[in-house]
Amino acid sequence: MRFLIGLFVFVLVGAPASAEERYSPWAGAETSASAERGRLQGFVDRLNTLIDEGEKARAADPRFLRDLRGLARGYDRPWRKLVLADDFGDGDFTADPAWTVTAGRYWVEGGWGLRSKVDPAASQPQQRQQGKVSGRDAALAILGTILGQAAGQGEGGGSAATGVAAAAAIHTGVRITNAFAIEIEFSSWLGQGRLEFGPYRGADRGSGYRLAYTPGGALELLRVSPWGSSVIERVAGPVTLEDKKAHRIEWTRRPDGAMTVALDGKPLFTAVDRGVTDPFDGFLMVNRGGDYILKRLAVYGTE
């Protein structure tokens, strides 16, 4: 009985503080946000400890303890190790951390972030624009595509016939645990194209998970492999972010494969996928025909 009284007092006293910290703005100072997360996580850890003790001592109804653990799980953040962070404030994306461009062009737009712009029309072969494509040119284009994919350029989707990239691709190598939290802030400047980003596995970056945003269309969660991609979940209804303002996406994955995606603090969907069970080797971003600026990125892993 004493355990139950202590547990209820602890929850009632701690709840207002956790609620206040729960709704703190993500765009605030990093040190302040980190301190707030630490306090909230400390509360959740202590609550889980009390629940464990209650289960061992059989001090409360098992259903009550199960419900209480479920409540605590909603605020638990197992991702406590910052493994990647960049706001491109130094004007250089080639070091600390080092990003590698594999297709197209990226540059740092002063005061905005890492930018890429791809013109879909410019990526079409010249012969196709004129309405004339010979059998020999078509065969060469197909062969060039195959050779490009064999060289690990499949993520960029470049056109060997013209040498102009149909997409802009960039990545950085970093070990990311299978459970992760990704916080990304970006702006979209054209109502066209498609932006994909997420953790990858392998030297060819052909496996992993990606979030794909299509302006005015869908936001999709994909599992990617060398044999293709499959949609795990998608937002029902159009998503339009072309207001030239930065929008924040928070994407989390728990150890049991449960993933949640939120846009500007609003939850969009939750899905479970256990198709990838190993750690990841880095983070990539691919711009397929749009104009996007990555303002800030933070990736957290488990200990």
For the chain, the structural domain boundaries read 2-75, 81-118+167-301, 120-166
Model pLDDT for residues 49-61, shown as the tens digit of each residue: 665 655 566 666 6
* Element housing 223 (H / E): strand 219-225
The answer on pLDDT for 264 being more than 80 is yes
pLDDT at 89 (0 to 100): 94
27: left (phi over 0), alpha (psi -120 to 50) or beta: alpha
The answer on pLDDT for 131 being more than 90 is no
Distance CA 29, CA 33 (A): 6
- Tell me what percent of the residues of the chain surpass a pLDDT of 70: 60
End-to-end CA distance of the chain: 35
Per residue in 144-175, is it b (16+ CB within 10 Å) or e — as a string?
bbeebbeeebbbbbbbbbbebbbbbbbbbbbe
- Tell me what percent of the residues of the chain surpass a pLDDT of 90: 52
pLDDT at 13 (0 to 100): 43
Taking residues 1-21, report their average pLDDT: 44
Q: Is 129 helix (H, G, I), strand (E, B) or coil?
A: helix
Model pLDDT for residues 31-48, shown as the tens digit of each residue: 555 556 556 555 555 665
State the chain's mean pLDDT as an integer: 77
Strands 247-253 and 180-188: antiparallel
pLDDT at 177 (0 to 100): 97
- Cis check for the bond before 16: say yes or no (omega within 30 of 0): no
CA distances from 43 to 77, 78, 124, 218 (A): 11, 13, 56, 37
The answer on pLDDT for 215 being more than 60 is yes
49: left (phi over 0), alpha (psi -120 to 50) or beta: alpha
Residue 246: pLDDT band by 50, 70, 90 thresholds?
A: very high
Q: Is the pLDDT higher at 187 or at 39?
A: 187
Residue 297: phi, psi to the nearest 5?
A: -140, 135
Q: Is the pLDDT higher at 197 or at 111?
A: 197
The answer on pLDDT for 9 being more than 80 is no
Question: The whole model's pTM is what?
Answer: 0.69
Per residue in 93-119, is it b (16+ CB within 10 Å) or e — as a string?
beeebebebbbbebebeeeebbbbbbe
Residue 223: phi, psi to the nearest 5?
A: -105, 125
% helix, strand, coil for the chain, step of 5: 30, 35, 35
pLDDT at 5 (0 to 100): 41
Taking residues 141-145, report their average pLDDT: 44
Taking residues 62-91, report their average pLDDT: 75
Residue 216: pLDDT band by 50, 70, 90 thresholds?
A: confident
Distance CA 258, CA 179 (A): 9
pLDDT at 170 (0 to 100): 98
Taking residues 271-295, report their average pLDDT: 96
Q: Is the pLDDT higher at 50 or at 131?
A: 50
pLDDT at 119 (0 to 100): 84
Taking residues 177-197, report their average pLDDT: 95
Q: Tell me the CATH class for 81-118+167-301.
A: mainly beta
pLDDT at 11 (0 to 100): 45
CA distances from 285 to 84, 122, 194, 271, 297 (A): 14, 20, 11, 22, 11
Starting from the edge strand earliest in sequence, which strands make up the sheet with 280-287, in order?
Answer: 100-103, 168-176, 280-287, 195-201, 207-213, 219-225, 228-234
The answer on pLDDT for 118 being more than 80 is yes
pLDDT at 218 (0 to 100): 86
Q: Is 58 exposed, middle or buried (0-12, 13-18, 19+ CB in 10 A)?
A: exposed
Distance CA 148, CA 151 (A): 5
Residue 94: pLDDT band by 50, 70, 90 thresholds?
A: very high
Give Cα 242 to chain centroid, integer Å: 19
Residue 15: pLDDT band by 50, 70, 90 thresholds?
A: very low
